[in-house]
Amino acid sequence: MFQDESTFGAKLDQTGVEAHYDQCVKRLLAEKISLAFILKYSVREFADISIEKIRNSCIESVEVSSRGVDIDETNIMLRAREGGSAVLGQNVEDVTRTEGKIIYDLLFQASAPHEKRPIPLIIDLEAQYKLPDQYILPVRGTYYVSREFSAEKGTIFSHSDYQALRKAYSIWICSEAASSRERSIITYEMLASCSVGNADVDPYECDYLSVVMIYLGKTGKAEHPLFRFLETLLSNELTPEEKKQIFLNEFGITTTRTMQKEMDEMCNFGEGLAERLSEKYMQQGIQQGMQQGIQQGMQQGMQQGMQQALQAVVQKMQQTGLSPADISLYTGLSIDQIRELSIHLSK
């Protein structure tokens, strides 16, 4: 058995509840057992390594900085801490004079066993709640991994010692996904090919940058171990005790007080966030409905206004990705009523 001793959107727009929830998610993902599952099933170099070995000997306990770091002057990675089961999940800022600032959710180093010598890796792990409308998320991942890779200049290597460069990964855990991508892992990597002539080329000779998109699912029980683990860990529907039993019975993982505390806090902040969103959407819906109702007459307008308010609430919640069961829980509407409203909205 394993024994443990021990986030998504623009941070400036977050409320206190959202920010606390975000930090709980990052701290849970920073647990070595969480990182071991992610590395095992999404990073090619760890595919043949056991989760227990990855957890115990492959992840370097690097404390991630919460302050701004200028990659033109100093190393973005801090020295390894002694002991501990978590790679501490504070945001790390990557700053350069010419390109501005980005903030990584979690940045750490890992070493993949190999028959010749260990393969050192630098890994950025990002938690993404909603898919952006204005750009394709893997493009942002490509930018992140490129910044991560270029930051090695003057820190991992100097002058022309390019062979000292370490492969960089940017891994994105996406809670929201198009139905065609739910419970899928998509890897974007840099591979060599011969476009002219018959040269014998190793496709992995310049394999230094990879972006991995992990799209979670929302309904039913996941069969794949990584999705089952992550969807259980990050679930807002399961209680901490239910999560604890799943980890123990299905994965042989015994969670201790620290991990249990993080799950408790995430559950509490998740409930607060859901209540806040429900109140917000209800108020917006009532305002929209009442405005239209006044124009159509008091009596008829009140009835229509309330109906339109409910429709607006359901529509807003659906747009955020909430399931019919979640909407029913927050509004008191039955599943059948929600379906009727959804049918009416689609006309």
Residue 261 lies in a domain: no
Residue 164 lies in a domain: yes
Same domain for 208 and 295? no
For residues 86 and 258, which has the higher predicted lDDT (pLDDT)?
258
Among 255, 290, 316, residue at a domain's last position: 255
pLDDT average, residue stretch 267-293: 56
Same domain for 136 and 210? yes
Residue 150 lies in a domain: yes
Same domain for 94 and 131? yes
Residue 272 lies in a domain: no
pLDDT digits (tens, 9 = 90+) for 20-59: 677 778 888 888 999 999 999 999 999 999 999 999 999 9
Percentage of the chain surpassing pLDDT 70? 69
Residue 274 lies in a domain: no
What's the total number of domains in the chain?
Answer: 2
Percentage of the chain surpassing pLDDT 90? 36
Residue 327 lies in a domain: yes
Same domain for 200 and 303? no
pLDDT score recorded for residue 24: 78
Same domain for 191 and 312? no
pLDDT digits (tens, 9 = 90+) for 48-73: 999 999 999 999 864 444 433 334 43
**Angle of helix 324-331 versus helix 298-319 axis, rounded to 10:** 140
Same domain for 168 and 250? yes
Same domain for 216 and 124? yes
pLDDT at 74 over 70: no
Residue 12 lies in a domain: yes
Residue pair 201/194 in contact by the 8 Å Cβ criterion: yes
pLDDT score recorded for residue 345: 66
Decide: residue 198, CB within 10 A, 0-12 exposed, 13-18 middle, 19+ buried: exposed
Backbone angles phi, psi at 108, to 5 degrees: -150, 170
Could you give the angle at the alpha carbon of 17 between the alpha carbons of 15 and 18, nearest 5°? 65
**Strands (DSSP E) found in the chain:** 2-3, 68-70, 92-96, 100-104, 106-112, 119-128, 167-174, 184-189, 209-215, 253-254
Same domain for 213 and 114? yes
pLDDT average, residue stretch 187-191: 95
pLDDT digits (tens, 9 = 90+) for 199-255: 999 998 999 999 999 999 988 899 999 999 999 998 888 888 899 999 999 999 988
pLDDT digits (tens, 9 = 90+) for 93-145: 565 555 556 678 888 999 999 878 899 999 999 999 888 888 999 999 999 99
Same domain for 179 and 295? no
Among 220, 255, 290, residue at a domain's last position: 255
Same domain for 97 and 147? yes
Same domain for 75 and 142? yes
Q: Is 25 helix (H, G, I), strand (E, B) or coil?
A: helix
Residue pair 172/141 in contact by the 8 Å Cβ criterion: yes
Residue with tokens 């807003």: 316
pLDDT at 89 over 50: no
Q: In what order do the strands lie in the sheet with 209-215?
A: 106-112, 119-128, 167-174, 209-215, 184-189
User: Residue 157: which domain range?
Assistant: 2-255
Same domain for 11 and 104? yes
Six-digit token pair at 321? 């990705």
Q: In what order do the strands lie in the sheet with 68-70?
A: 68-70, 92-96, 100-104
Among 255, 288, 319, residue at a domain's last position: 255
